[in-house]
Chain A
Amino acid sequence: MTTTIEPPDLIGPEEPGTPGGHPPVAHHDEHAHHDGPTGIVNWLTSTDHKVIGKSYMITSLVLFFIAGALALVIRTQLADPTSSLVNFQTYNELFTMHGSLMLYLFAGPFAFGGLANYIVPLQVGAPDMAFPRLNALSYWLYLSGSAMMTLSFLVAGGAASFGWVAYAPLSNAINSPGTGTDMWILSLGLTGFSAIFTGVNLVATILYLRAPGMTMFRMPIFTWNMLVTGILILIAFPVLFGAAVLLFCDRHFGTHIFSVQGGGVPVLWQHLFWFFGHPEVYILALPYFGMVTDIIPVFSRKPLFGYKGMVFATMSIAALSTGVWAHHMFTTGVVLLPFFSILSFLIAVPTGIKFFNWIGTMWRGQLSFQTPMLFSIGFLFAFLMGGVTGVLLASPPVDFMTHDTYFVVAHFHQVLIGTTVFAGFAGFYFWYPKMFGRMLNDTLGKLHFWVLFVGFWVAFLPQYVLGLKGMPRRIADYLPSNGWTGLNVASTIGAWIIGASFLFFLVNLVVSWRKPVPAGDNPWDGGGLEWFTSSPPPHHNFTHLPAVRSERPVWDYNHPEHRKVERPEAPATTPERETVGAPR
């Protein structure tokens, strides 16, 4: 069967312009050997992780652009204190759907359904995901859930309007009636199951389908992070599904789980939601951490600094993230402040280790600032700012002052744009050649980065100040006498700059599609197994594999003179100084 979209002009001899200059490592001529459905029938019936991964990526990017457009309407409304661009009800629907589309339908699925689905089997040397048909099912559940949530704008009464967190009792049948709300709740069920199935698939693939010699501690960090993310999905998403079902029962079947009148507890919703919601933040972050961890060594031309430290930092972040859910609930007054505050502070430690290792990897390397590397460095800045303000918010007294203000809005946008957009597009630019066999234009990519980077700071730094000045979240207008106008205008301009930066991305896609530059197997001289096979990989991924003896098997294969020698015991003499990088 044909599993890859490939233009005829890219089939042929190996690439001319690989920077590493190594001999071609794979000879595949079986693209044409698998007769099977093509076009829409292929899309409907394929169980190939590469086709499903690309479907996931395209769907989630479309939803990303829809959600981004909603954000621009929101920001335009807020640029003028008494704007009447949209009415209050529409505004509530807009910010709810912006958050829901971004968090449930873009950020997670783009990482674990899209890039991870495509890349993880390649990185571990597997022919496909462990359960190919389950993988396909999870895409169809994701697509139908996404369609359901997005189309809820069109039903009578409009879309859900209670924020992406759906707090009880605002989300009950009296305060939020309407079909759109029901569609929102049940679409969480569908997409939740899609995420669970993907999590099962990732864990099973990573635990069982590794190539010979690819031991757990030789896996690329992206794969490690996806293993941990898969476990986190299995912890968090069932809780979301259960909570959504309970909420639906409250709305339609007369139960009183979240309503005081019937003896229920509204705060229970917050416990259930945030027990999902906080691990969800790390389900959104860890895959992107993994992407930059794979990218930075390649563009520093050094092995990763502190491989095991990275793995244990990932595990500690994931473990701690499940014990901090109620730091979103400090102001409810019914949670244990010291417990959640201390655990939240502790997350800063493994995250700091990661930052140390990222910088240590770049330290004295031969840096080349191509597009994926620029986006990775942009991620470091963005996530640092978002992370540090997060540490502030973990302190209950600070949180009491800033809860539900624009300070929090700025914090989580810097965290989430840092990971899902900066790191996500770093990964996209990095693996696009592998997925489509052609390069993206580096100049357009750099323009995309710089415009985005400027817009990002212009949009969100003013929001910290607005929050400290007391501007609450989720308001559609304010008084000119509040003194918030100037900063809001600045933030709106930044948002439009961010929007404009994606024009470069779209142009880049069109250019690469109309005038393809062949990528070759290994355009970046990367070290992971995914660079050993052709671009795009053939059906079932590999025709042959190298011996895996380190965490960079393809680097060992292409550069035998630099092969890492594994020493079973400590050397008797002082080890020689590393010669990588510039002399001191």
Chain B
Amino acid sequence: MRVNALFLGGIGVFFGIIGLVYWFTSYEDAGFLMLVGASLLGLMPGAYYLWWSRHMTALEGDEPEAEVSDGAGVVEAFPGSSIWPFLLGMGAFFATLTFIFGWWLFPIALALIGSAVIGATVESRRGGTV
């Protein structure tokens, strides 16, 4: 966790410095704002990891002397198969096509996305097909 914090925090600090140098040498706002965004992208999760690295025991993946048995137990509920990502993807596809070919495609997109959202939620409540 500490390595993660340093890694992400380092990104944030680097882009912060680059952003400041860029602003005070160019006064160009688009690039400056994007660099600030990149800096925040590092600083926010970096601070989160820094806080947790001091408030929890190390994950077995961060423990150099960890034994394989330390990782025993349920990692996650991994769904073995699920049709909902496909329907959600197709829904996004039709929603995008709506912008090009007209609103008649929109109900299809809405139906696909709606069914996928409901289906995936129900599946998660069931725990998926692990």
Contact = CB atoms under 8 A, between A and B. Distances in A.
Interface of A: 1, 34, 36-37, 42, 44-48, 124, 126-128, 130, 132-137, 139-141, 143-145, 148, 179, 182-183, 186-187, 189-190, 193, 207-218, 231, 234-235, 239, 248, 252, 268, 271-272, 275, 315, 319, 322-323, 325-326, 335-336, 339, 343, 539-540, 544-549
6 contacts: A37-B81, A127-B76, A148-B97, A213-B60, A545-B68, A547-B68
**Main SS at interface, chain B:** helix
Contacts, number: 184
A136 B82 contact: yes
Contacts of B80: 1, 34, 36, 47-48, 539
B120 A133 contact: yes
A45 B83 contact: yes
Nearest to A275: B34
A488 B99 CA distance: 42
A182 B102 CA distance: 12
Interface residues of B, number: 58
A216 B10 CA distance: 15
A213 B64 contact: yes
Contacts of A252: 99
B28 A319 contact: no
A132 B64 CA distance: 28
Nearest to B49: A207
B68 A546 contact: yes
A140 B30 contact: no
A235 B79 contact: no
B89 interface: yes
A128 B78 contact: yes
Given A137-B89, A186-B100, A336-B28, A216 B4 contact: yes
B100 A136 contact: no
Given A209-B76, A544-B68, 19 more contacts: A42-B81, A44-B83, A45-B81, A46-B81, A133-B79, A133-B85, A139-B85, A139-B89, A144-B89, A190-B93, A207-B4, A211-B60, A211-B61, A212-B69, A216-B4, A231-B42, A336-B22, A339-B22, A547-B67
A134 to B, nearest CB: 7
Contacts of B59: 208, 210
B107 interface: no
B57 interface: no
- Lowest 5 A-B CB distances belong to which pairs? A140-B89, A210-B61, A136-B85, A144-B93, A212-B66
Interface of B: 3-4, 7-8, 10-11, 14-15, 18, 21-22, 25-26, 28, 30-31, 34-35, 37-38, 41-42, 59-71, 75-76, 78-86, 88-90, 92-93, 96-97, 99-101, 120, 129
**Main SS at interface, chain A:** helix
A133 B96 contact: no
Q: Which of A213, A214, A248, A272 has the most CB of B within 10 A?
A: A213
Nearest to A544: B68
Contacts of A546: 68
B79 A190 contact: no
A140 B89 CA distance: 5
Contacts of B42: 231
Nearest to B2: A216
A556 B85 CA distance: 40
Contacts of B25: 336, 339
A66 B68 CA distance: 46
Contact of A47 (B21, B37, B78, B99): B78
A546 B66 CA distance: 11
Contacts of B68: 211-213, 544-547
A48 B30 CA distance: 40
A452 to B, nearest CB: 34
Contact of B41 (A214, A217, A234): A234
B94 to A, nearest CB: 9
